[in-house]
Amino acid sequence: MTGDHSILLAKSILDFPTALIFSCTLGMVVSLIAVPQFIIFMALYLLAGVIYPLCTPVMINDFKACGGILLLATGFRMIKVKEFPVADMIPAMVLVMHVSYLWSNYIVPLIA
């Protein structure tokens, strides 16, 4: 969203081994994920100019934190420490920015 492509490059490098692990365990089905993922990422890329000015730094940090929790849950699931329902957590990525906005603009002023 900020025009800094270094994060995307780092995430791509990190996603490649994960994709290899998933493809070894799940087979060819993993390759079908590329189609909806491409559509979602292109929509985010095209809408970033509209979305970013509406976001506060707190909202972006909450979004990053939510992604980190999903990544942590995925890692625990991969190494078989705990079977988290990661697919059920994905809607949180859509809801986190709205909840963050409502929390910081309406709930926090009531508490303070």
83-103 pLDDT, tens digit each: 888 888 888 988 999 999 999
What does the mean pLDDT of the chain come to?
A: 84
Residue found by looking up tokens 């976001």 in the block: 55
Distance CA(103)–CA(36), nearest Å, equals 31
Q: The pTM is what?
A: 0.69
Looking at residue 95, what is its pLDDT?
93
- For residue 76, what are the contacts with CB-CB under 8 A and spacing of at least 6? 82, 84
Looking at residue 10, what is its pLDDT?
80
- How does DSSP classify residue 110? H
- For residue 73, what are the contacts with CB-CB under 8 A and spacing of at least 6? 84, 86, 89
Q: What is the residue extent of each domain of the chain?
A: 1-48, 55-112
Residue found by looking up tokens 């994060």 in the block: 7
Residue found by looking up tokens 């985010």 in the block: 44
Looking at residue 2, what is its pLDDT?
61
